[in-house]
Amino acid sequence: MNANQDDALIRIRGLRTVLNGKTIFSGVDLDIPSGKITAIMGPSGTGKTTLMRHITGQLAPDAGEVIVAGRNVWTLSRAGLFELREKIGYLFQNSALLTDYSVFENVAFPLRQHLRLPEEILRDIVLTKLQAVGLRGAAELMPSELSGGMVRRIALARAIVRDPMLIIYDEPFVGLDPIALNQILKLIRTLNQTLGITSILVAHELAAVRQVADSIYLIAAGKIAAHGAPDELARGETPWTKQFFAGEADGPVPFHYPAPDYATQLGLAGGKP
């Protein structure tokens, strides 16, 4: 572990998860340092989102400890879990905006549910967050009227509206044009530097991740395959890092899902019986 354990906001030990008979994690140990941006990377289907669901108490692991801000998530009562979640901002992979509410009401939703703020103050906070993601002008639109990239930026505004201690970005760069992507990167960096918010970034885009992340965990085959600073990992010589960061088809991660012999399946001569 590179992170200083005393500074870790999240500490995971001996995490084991089996879903539908498939082993997702087989003894993962991981520390997310406080006030840093930590990226979680790995091949598709390797369990990155599942890991986030363990951290936020949405999915119970089969074994292991998940400690967030000094509290074991899986020993908390529902009220305790909700108290913890109030301090966490979560950007969902598919944004998960409330489709019956306008952009403004979506961003205002967490404030209305938990705080009794005067309408003017609430309005100012929401407009500030919308301004940060460049969509103040879209406040009155409905989610169905937005493009995919705009929906993602609104979801980000909602995730940060309560200035959480931890923000989890699950695939924040998908569907963004280069301008929006740059702005989101800037925003992630600003939130981290000015407010000291701890961030977890689940992403595949190495170029973008390198610009903001302090460290990267590479997850593969149910374990931590590599951990280190972005540049260090990009130069990595292990089979995992070489294949993942170079995007090679051949390596420890098979490109093809297990299947019978191709030639045999096509009925061609020479196929294995």
Partner 1 sequence: MSGSSRAFAPFTAGLAQLGACGIFLVQTLRAVPRSLRYLRETVRQVFFVGAMSLVIIMTCGLFVGMVLGLQLYHTLSIFGGTAALGTVVALSLYRELGPVVTALLFAGRAGTSITAEIGLMRATDQLDAMEMMAVDPMAYVVAPRFLAGIIAMPLLACTFNALGILGAHLVGVSWLGLDNGTFWSNMTANVDIWDDVINGVWKSTAFGAVCTLIATFQGYTTPPTSEGVAYATTRTVVFSSIATLAIDFIMTAFLM
Q: Which of residues 151-190 bind partner 1 (CB under 8 A)?
A: 158
CA-to-CA dists, residue 32 to 55, 74, 105, 114, 194, angstroms? 11, 18, 32, 27, 19
CA separation for the pair 113, 123 (Å, rounded) = 14
Q: Note whether 110 binds partner 1 by CB under 8 A.
A: yes
Joined together, the tokens standing for residue 74 give 């899986």
Nearer to partner 1, 110 or 252 (CB): 110
- Say if residues 200 and 221 touch (Cβ distance below 8 Å): no
User: Between the CA atoms of 145, 148, 154 and 155, what dihedral angle is there, to the nearest 10 degrees?
Assistant: 130
Nearest distance from residue 90's CB to partner 1, in Å? Answer: 4
- Of the pair 96, 117, the CB lying nearest partner 1 is at 96
Least Å from the CB of residue 110 to partner 1: 5
Nearest to 103 by CA among 136, 140, 158: 140
Neighbours of 181 (CB within 10 A): 19
Task: Print the binding letters for residues 19-58 with partner 1: x by CB under 8 A, - otherwise.
Answer: -------------------------------------x-x
| The binder of partner 1 chosen from 19, 60, 63, 98 (CB under 8 A) | 98
For residue 158, the minimal CB distance to partner 1 (Å) is: 8
> Per rule CB under 8 A, is residue 217 in the interface with partner 1?
no
Return the residues of window 64-93 that contact partner 1 according to CB under 8 A: 82-83, 85-86, 88, 90, 92-93
Query: How far apart (Å, rounded) are the C-alpha atoms in residues 81 and 46?
Result: 26
